[in-house]
Amino acid sequence: MEGFPPELETLLRQVMAFLPQLVRAIVLLIVGALLGLLLETVGATMLRSLGFDGFADRAGVTRVLRDASRDKDQKASTLAGTLIFWIVMLTFMGVAAEVLGLSAFGKMMTALAAFLPRLLGAALLLVLGLFLGQAARELIAAPADREVTPSGWRQLDRGVQVVIVALTVIAALSLVGIDLRWVTWLVVVLVAVAGLAVALAFGVGFQGLVRDLAAGFYLRAQLKAGQRLRVGEVEGELLQLTPLHLVLQTAEGRLALPYSLVHSRGFVQTEPADTFLSP
């Protein structure tokens, strides 16, 4: 480099010495990007094949993601794949920064890359917990459409869902590394209070059930299908005796009457004889 000014010659020597490091850093970034894209595709595909998007849909996570991103086609598996890509990419960015001598930046990228897997694990755990909470609520609430179901079921299904989701949130935040000792105690107290409220509501809801069971035990010994009965202003043919109610075929259609109601009002057997049977 003879003939150049000393300052320019020094600069050129520094650039030539730095060039191999720059090339290695660029190669590392390219390899990281390619590997990240590959693992992103594989990870998202595996999650979709395992039904992860279905879990997210039922848990309500997909709706939240679409509202936040304003993308109607947003899927939870796609977001998880993106996190996988950035885990790989940030790892290679940290190594590339170390190669370039940017130690502080490299350590920051490495720390961020180490944090993202925990964030991904917490997100997967949260989706699973929300799905299990919703599934448990639907399972418990399934009998709510039945005529004989006590009102306590509705308080119970919500209580179970809240407990599952609360425990899942605590586990997810702990996985991220947040100290939740005081939050855990608070949630335990809230869950205990909610459990007591659910138990009370459940017990109140079952009072009618117990009355119907007791009255049915007495009335089923006197009744049989095919009889014609009059209960209050209602008259019809007795079609069925269930554990908790009887079914009459009236002029307006089928009518289910709880045993406790029949027992309290009494009934008249209109065929073969008009005999009044009182409880």
- pLDDT for 146 equals 46
CB 204, CB 151: distance < 8 Å: yes
- pLDDT for 5 equals 64
The pLDDT confidence band at residue 155, using thresholds 50, 70 and 90, is: low
- Of 112-116, 131-135, 208-212, the poorest mean pLDDT is in 208-212
| 204 has pLDDT over 80 | no
| CATH class belonging to 220-277 | mainly beta
Structural domain spans, the chain: 1-101, 120-217, 220-277
* Residue 153 amino acid letter: W
- pLDDT for 9 equals 63
The pLDDT confidence band at residue 7, using thresholds 50, 70 and 90, is: low
Residue pLDDT, tens place only, 49-107: 888 888 788 777 777 777 777 777 778 888 888 889 998 998 899 888 888 888 888 88
Top-confidence residue, 207 or 50:
50
Top-confidence residue, 215 or 191:
215
**Across the chain, what does the average pLDDT equal?**
77
Residue pLDDT, tens place only, 222-277: 888 888 888 888 888 888 888 788 888 888 888 888 888 888 888 777 765 444 44
- pLDDT for 205 equals 57
- pLDDT for 42 equals 94
- pLDDT for 276 equals 41
Residue pLDDT, tens place only, 120-147: 888 888 888 888 887 877 776 655 444 4
- pLDDT for 11 equals 65
